[in-house]
């Protein structure tokens, strides 16, 4: 007996792609702005490497997924 293959589908509805792109890119840009403000306003001795790495990683994740959903919303399937 041959079983029919199920098509691959997205776990996120396609209608949500533009909203997710805008939301995640906005959050990523706000976190990036706070990172730059932190770097510009804190002295060299009072900076925390852990805070810088965590802030950079969180901003990177949001900007990465935001870019992915922006590409998906515009029809570039990656």
Provide the CB-side half-sphere exposure for 20 (13 A, CA): 18
Q: Which of 53, 60, 1, 8 is nearest to 31 (CA)?
A: 60
Residue 57 pLDDT > 90, yes or no?
Answer: yes
pLDDT tens digit string along 2-56? 688 888 888 999 999 999 999 999 999 999 999 999 999 999 999 999 999 999 9
Residue 2 has a pLDDT of: 67
Residue 77 has a pLDDT of: 86
1: confidence class by pLDDT, cuts 50, 70, 90:
low
d(CA 71, CA 44): 38
- Sequence length of the chain is 78
Rounded to a whole number of angstroms, the CA Rg of the chain reads: 18
């Amino acid at each position: 007996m041959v079983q029919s293959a199920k098509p691959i589908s997205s776990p996120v509805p396609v209608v949500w792609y533009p909203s997710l792109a805008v939301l995640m890119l906005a959050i990523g840009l706000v976190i990036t702005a706070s990172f730059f403000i932190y770097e510009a306003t804190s002295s060299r001795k009072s900076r925390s490497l852990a805070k810088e790495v965590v802030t950079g990683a969180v901003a990177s994740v949001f900007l990465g997924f935001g870019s992915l959903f922006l590409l998906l919303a515009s029809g570039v399937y990656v």
